[in-house]
Structure 1
């Protein structure tokens, strides 16, 4: 998503959306506050991943869904729904068509 959005809103814009998304997730879903407090507010996806793998599967999936939804909603308020959908179409298509990381090919 960062690669798709950086040419439009810049790296600082992507980081700002990420930080705001994290903040909104924690403020609207108190059970996510612990995750929010452990994730740095920079665009550090390695740290985010390490925090999520420590959570239960249900909590990690819930946080991921809420974070992505919040990020997308913020983006649409910034650049509009049509441009947001066009920019992220390839991101969604690639993530849905790629095999899960746990699977291995014979």
Structure 2
């Protein structure tokens, strides 16, 4: 079941692409988002757990976005953001928004399934608020 918070990720990235963000800008934003997520969650659930959820998120997202398949193969205990950025820069803004948005959404959903909605919301509240603001009526149309 898709949460309001995970839907907000997709809406925000799609809006950035519609507003003219190029591949470099979106790739930088996505990598920065993952850096923030990793920094926020690693002290709580551990670097290996964050990397495992990252890997699982890209595996699930690659079902609809096959170009993401390489992002979940071969990773062990760390998140490889350099490989992610390189893969993103080979795509259009729309592809980046859709694929990376799906992976971030899957991450949120996987974390929710693992630790529950309430704890996920508390752990991710400040991260999501900074990265993915609540869309206004004007932006969500």
Q: TM class, shorter-chain normalised? A: 0.7 to 0.9
Retained in 1: the 8 A contact 2:61–2:68? no
Q: How far apart, in 1, do the equivalents of 2:110 and 2:68 lie?
A: 20
Which of 113, 116, 125 aligns to 1:89? It is 125
**What corresponds to 2:5 in structure 1?**
none
Q: State the 4+ residue runs in structure 1 displaced beyond 6 angstroms.
A: none
> Could you say what the CA RMSD is over the residues aligned between the two structures, in angstroms?
1.7
Q: How far apart, in 1, do the equivalents of 2:56 and 2:68 lie?
A: 14
Shift of 1:2: 1.1
Give the structure-1-normalised TM-score.
0.78
Q: How far apart, in 2, do the equivalents of 1:40 and 1:75 lie?
A: 16
**What corresponds to 1:33 in structure 2?**
66
**What corresponds to 1:104 in structure 2?**
none
- Pairs aligned (count): 93
**What corresponds to 2:116 in structure 1?**
80
User: Unmatched 5+ residue regions in structure 2?
Assistant: 1-36, 134-141
Find out whether 1:11 has 2:11 as its counterpart. Answer: no
**What corresponds to 2:92 in structure 1?**
56
Give the structure-2-normalised TM-score.
0.60
User: Unmatched 5+ residue regions in structure 1?
Assistant: 98-106
The CA deviation string for residues 2-30 of structure 1, in whole angstroms up to 9 with x for no partner, is: 12211222111101101111111112x1x
The CA deviation string for residues 50-102 of structure 1, in whole angstroms up to 9 with x for no partner, is: 211210111110011100110000000111111111111111222257xxxxx
